[in-house]
Structure 1
């Protein structure tokens, strides 16, 4: 099964990638429709689009309307829907930036509930790396690692390699590294937040 990309409201720079299936999330579904990105369905309370836009969505794809007063975010409901439909690789695009509470809520979903979730937009890719080995593909200029607990890491193929280095939640010297070759990260102990990012002024778009 393909991975699924959940398209949230801040997805203006997103283009279609046939390697993914797509689920529109609230206003992100309208963006998909306007951009010709095929969706398997759309989900949300749709309080950020007009009734006319919602009708057009309903004529184009399956639409799951959620109540406006609820105890879960639209992104949270979309993740649950994707899992119910059998997806194991879930990417949430357009859930960063804008309202800080929404950004933090999406980070919390990844950190404390759905560890394999990947958060992304035109300038960022954020994922969690637990104990194991990871081959890192260069997506953006900068690579940062932040410890989520006391961790031991080895990283090569980067501007500032480390070998069997202990990092704690107080350490921030591991930000703004750069991939320069075949980058390999080994998390020997603990877990880290893995962030690839680009200066927004550079206008880099998603692949």
Structure 2
């Protein structure tokens, strides 16, 4: 039986910088989505796959992407139902990896940023651990019945928000502000700006969907 692919790293066209390469690991299968592919190539990183409608790059830049990628998949910007990031995530899920990292999912376009956070549910429903990360954020999604262990890191703040009407049975251990069997409803800010009390902590969720956001700055 072939060995399972450990991780797919998607680099899409939001906020990117010199820190991006530090989030990638040797052995990652790398997908560049639209302008994210151009960023990778100009950073000396060869994508295994570049895809998108490439409406945010010029014709000569698209040629640069094609020459610098192991594979190219181009989509019509009108005749497609998904954003470039969703296309990349769906292709990543088809590879059946152990986990997925999405970089460049957040940026100045709040509509795209929010849609990309919502994409975490698509991956969670397929049972693939998926993380959005950039210079100042790490975002993951829990589903009911799960526990998530956190370690003290470069992200000192931990915030929780439901992805849905209600997330219930939330228990926090090892946090400055603990909770036990708490409920968070959409429209509340109770879960914002917590912090680990020591080196480790645990978030447990009994029912619903819960965003766990570690942030700095």
TM class by smaller structure:
0.7 to 0.9
**What is the TM-score with the length of structure 1 in the denominator?**
0.86
Map 1:75-154 to 2 at 5 A: 75-111=85-121, 113-115=122-124, 116-130=129-143, 131-139=145-153, 140-148=155-163, 149-154=166-171
Distance 1:167 1:86, change over 3 A: closer
TM-score, length of structure 2 as denominator length: 0.83
Deviation, 1:143, is 0.1
In structure 2, the residue matched to 1:15 is 21
Q: CA deviation at 1:64?
A: 0.9
Q: Which runs of 4+ in 1 moved over 3 A?
A: none
The 1-side partners of 2:167 and 2:43 are apart by 44
Q: Helix, strand or coil for the counterpart of 1:59?
A: helix
- 1:72 aligned to 2:72? no
Aligned positions of 1:1-40 closer than 5 A: 1-9=5-13, 10-12=15-17, 13-16=19-22, 17-19=24-26, 20-40=28-48
Gapped regions of structure 2 (runs ≥ 5): none
Measure how far apart 1:188 and its partner are.
Answer: 2.6
Displacement of 1:170: 4.2
3-state DSSP of counterpart to 2:116 = helix
Deviates more, 1:148-157 or 1:10-19: 10-19
- Residue in 2 that maps onto 1:205: none
CA distance in 1, matches of 2:160, 2:205: 11
Alignment of 1:168-179 (within 5 A): 168-179=185-196
Task: Establish whether residue 162 from structure 1 lines up as the match of residue 191 from structure 2.
Answer: no
Please provide the CA RMSD for this pair: 1.8
Structure 2 residue matching 1:117: 3-state secondary structure = strand
The superposition leaves residues 7-64 of structure 1 with CA deviations (integer Å, 9 ceiling, x where unpaired) of 0112223114325331101000111111122321111111212222221221221111
Gaps of 5+ in 1: 200-207
